[in-house]
Structure 1
Amino acid sequence: MQSQTQANHWDIFCAVVDNYGDIGVTWRLAKQLAKEYGLAVNLWVDDLASFGHILPKLDPKCASQNFEGVCIKHWDTPLTQEYQPGDVLIEAFACELPPEVLDQITALHRSGNQVPVWLNLEYLSAEDWVEGCHGLPSLQRSGLKKQFYFPGFTPKTGGLICEADLLQRRQAWQDNNERQAFFETLGLSGIQTDHTVISLFSYESDSLEALCRHWQQGDNQIHLLVPIGRSLNSLGAFVDPQGPLTPGSRYSHGKLTIHLLPMTDQQGYDRLLWSSDFNIVRGEDSFLRAQWAAKPFIWHIYPQEEDYHLIKLEAFMAFYCHNLAPEIASAWKKLNIGFNQGAQETLPSLWQQVDNAHSALTQHAQNWPNEALNDADLATRLVQFVKNS
């Protein structure tokens, strides 16, 4: 293996959790660092099979392969590929580095040699305490220093992942009216320009059945686009649970048509969000991409003990709604809380209130990305943070 010890060599370690969330974030970050900053990035991943769902060209049996300027390496146990210390070492979401890596950087430290800047990339949160914790060091038993890097929505945090040209690409997509052509590539038919298109990528929830029953009885034709995944576990009353749930299947119920889609790469998912009128998303990666899509959305946040996830949801909604008309902000907040709490009885009326405010919410969603970025995205701030370290 060729030694990589130059100053622009970074390593990112990611343990795949919940199939797509953690790897979605780290893959986007790795690609951006390689493309926009010319860095030699190694992305070490423990589950290549799951990674392959969002990178279809990936060979899950190949230990080392290159895509979009990033070297993807299989993180096995024990680690069979040689780790060469570079300038930066990122431990994504407290995944705990392999002992072989820790041994190497500890030996470098004890011999007085330069060690990589060691960062723990944390989960995104809008809570107040993030500003105070961002960048804090933690002295390890070995004497090494690890620093905590917190993404966030304010200038005093680590920022948000957003490629330099993303918003321009999205605007060009919409200006060129490429939605219908995109639907045709997915094999979708029957979607008229006056129909409402909703994308769904959520966890299991009783809220989905309540909304589907409301949509099927409504006045407007709704097309629900559902990539094969966990959302379908909550749609048994609307899809055939005994038959094969395969991409291309469609199920019609009154005014509601459900279309099943294949899992896609990240570019395809962005286009799905751009092409929909409303998006229901989950976790962190799709949640942030829904914001860059500039469309109204529901965030299905990952459930935590003692409903702590609702505190995180409230913190984000306070940021998102701070300059939104109070009555519209209230309706959107209640819909998000109701969806996350499974409030089946009240969801139809909450949905109707938000649907009535769709135009104003869309205008707000279009203004939000520039405000949320605070003039610098996560990769830009991360590179500067490393320089300052």
Structure 2
Amino acid sequence: MASQNTEQNWDIFCTVVDNYGDIGVTWRLAKQLAVEHKINVTLWVDDLNSFQHILPQLDPKLVTQTHFGIKINQWSEPLKAGYYAGDVLIEAFACELPAQVKQQLITAKQHYAEDATQPKPPVWLNLEYLSAESWVEGCHGLPSMQTSGLKKYFYFPGFTDKTGGLICEKQLFGQRDVWQADINNRLNLFESLGLQGIKASDTVVSIFSYETASLLALCQLWQHSEQTVHALIPKGRCLNSLVELLPCSVDEISAGSQIKLNNLVIHILPMTDQEGYDKLLWSCDFNIVRGEDSFLRAQWAAKPFIWHIYVQEDDYHLIKLDAFMQLYCNNLPPELANSWKALNLAFNQEQAAETSEHWQQLNLADLPLQQHAKQWPIDAINDVDLVSRLVQFVKNS
């Protein structure tokens, strides 16, 4: 197979799962590869309608389009005529490469075996889900020999220097610090989103969770708090937890709606792009997040948070949650660490009463908690971000 690309052409394949999680991570990956490493990226996505929610300028009707210098193709099989595999092929989160792409890899391998002057076969990677579990270190970067004779590498994001690292743009922390240094940035953002009546002294919580009775319990608690609490919630799954507090059905609620319940004000958020979501997380006092993309961005926001992890069989998600909490709480004072872990565990186990109790024990203004939230991103990044490690991994491969 004659090479149609240079070593700087990468293809990323993504199937959209859970609306925005997989495509959220994949889109950040593609942008950082293109912007910081000058790599030509083609992103293949099966669901452009969902993708449009985090990339508003995307046109779901177009088979091919370019945004931020990245070619975005509708992934439908067979792929369009004339397709040639790039020099690096990434399956995002265990999706399968199309059969015609695999056949191109086999052909390239055969030609290279017969004539070493022919282009090397593309590097084939599977980008795995993020986990803090210890076994990730032993599996990261391992090759898997396929029945076709091809070799596929498994790339595991993670929190230690023996893993694939974490997605983080080089300028992100500096941009966050500048933003958070001026209270007017927060207030202006809220106003631009149509969120009225938020004062600088009010407590603001962003919520992007799955359905859970724990969220209802927190909102009922906030109704009677001494200080006004503003809950910023997008229209979606988390609102289903609050039906008994809402004046109408979830379907009748629209972005910009405001529901006042004593000292709790629920604001329905409009959809925003990824940069806007980062700024929202930076601007809140506390963030409740789910999935992988928002989970990591909440950490980079340097604010306290709850991670609502996706439920798995045999409660395996709680093992993953515990692995992360052990890392995150390593340098926290024991009493504070126990309080934060208990809150996260209660929220994830739908223990409504315990969630309320542990929230009341957690002081958001606690200096060690604030300092830890600010230091954690620096420690977690381990000097080198995921995309930089990935580019070096490909070179070594």
TM-score (normalizing by structure 1) = 0.97
State the one-letter code of the partner of 2:329.
C
Alpha-carbon distance in 2 for matches of 1:363, 1:223:
23
How far did residue 4 of structure 1 move?
4.6
3-state DSSP class of the match of 1:345? Answer: helix
Residue 127 of structure 1: aligned partner: 133
Alpha-carbon distance in 2 for matches of 1:358, 1:266:
29
Distance 1:238 1:100, change over 3 A: same
Residues 304 and 364 in structure 2, CA contact (< 8 A), matched pair in contact too: no
Alpha-carbon RMSD across the aligned residues, in angstroms, is 1.2
* 2:163 corresponds to 1:148: no
Distance 1:357 1:172, change over 3 A: closer
Residues 21 and 284 in structure 1, CA contact (< 8 A), matched pair in contact too: yes
Alpha-carbon distance in 2 for matches of 1:369, 1:17:
27
How far did residue 348 of structure 1 move?
1.2
Greater displacement, 226-235 / 3-12: 3-12
How far did residue 123 of structure 1 move?
0.2
Residues 296 and 358 in structure 1, CA contact (< 8 A), matched pair in contact too: no
3-state DSSP class of the match of 1:10? Answer: strand
Q: How does 1:269-288 map to 2 (within 5 A)?
A: 269-288=277-296
Residue 225 of structure 1: aligned partner: 232
Residue 325 of structure 1: aligned partner: 333
Q: How does 1:291-310 map to 2 (within 5 A)?
A: 291-310=299-318
How far did residue 81 of structure 1 move?
5.2
Q: How does 1:190-339 map to 2 (within 5 A)?
A: 190-242=197-249, 244-339=252-347
Residue 116 of structure 1: aligned partner: 122
Q: How does 1:368-387 map to 2 (within 5 A)?
A: 368-387=376-395
Give per-residue Cα distances to partners, 1:21-54, cap 9 Å, x unaligned: 0000000000000000000000100000000000
Alpha-carbon distance in 2 for matches of 1:194, 1:211:
20
Alpha-carbon distance in 2 for matches of 1:319, 1:39:
33
Q: 1:361 aligns with which of 353, 366, 369?
A: 369
Residues 235 and 269 in structure 2, CA contact (< 8 A), matched pair in contact too: yes
How far did residue 237 of structure 1 move?
1.6
How far did residue 172 of structure 1 move?
0.9
Give per-residue Cα distances to partners, 1:222-241, cap 9 Å, x unaligned: 00001122111111122234
Residue 163 of structure 1: aligned partner: 169
* 2:37 corresponds to 1:37: yes
Residues 14 and 43 in structure 1, CA contact (< 8 A), matched pair in contact too: yes
Residue 62 of structure 2: aligned partner: 62
TM-score (normalizing by structure 2) = 0.95
Distance 1:104 1:325, change over 3 A: same
Residues 137 and 145 in structure 1, CA contact (< 8 A), matched pair in contact too: yes
Alpha-carbon distance in 1 for matches of 2:145, 2:157:
21
Task: Structure 2: give runs of 5+ residues left out of the alignment.
Answer: 113-117
Give per-residue Cα distances to partners, 1:84-135, cap 9 Å, x unaligned: 2222100111101111111111111122252111000000000000000000
How far did residue 206 of structure 1 move?
1.1
State the one-letter code of the partner of 1:198.
V
Alpha-carbon distance in 1 for matches of 2:48, 2:83:
18
How far did residue 156 of structure 1 move?
0.4
State the one-letter code of the partner of 2:141.
G
Residue 105 of structure 1: aligned partner: 105
State the one-letter code of the partner of 1:272.
L
How far did residue 357 of structure 1 move?
5.9
Alpha-carbon distance in 1 for matches of 2:310, 2:330:
23
Task: Structure 1: give runs of 5+ residues left out of the alignment.
Answer: none
> How many residue pairs were aligned?
387
Runs of 4 or more above 6 Å deviation: none
How far did residue 244 of structure 1 move?
1.5
Distance 1:81 1:94, change over 3 A: farther
Alpha-carbon distance in 1 for matches of 2:79, 2:336:
52
How far did residue 220 of structure 1 move?
1.3
Greater displacement, 100-109 / 147-156: 100-109
How far did residue 9 of structure 1 move?
0.2
How far did residue 79 of structure 1 move?
2.3
3-state DSSP class of the match of 2:363? Answer: helix
Greater displacement, 25-34 / 110-119: 110-119
State the one-letter code of the partner of 2:191.
E
Greater displacement, 108-117 / 17-26: 108-117
Residues 85 and 115 in structure 1, CA contact (< 8 A), matched pair in contact too: no
Alpha-carbon distance in 1 for matches of 2:199, 2:242:
24
Q: How does 1:66-77 map to 2 (within 5 A)?
A: 66-77=66-77
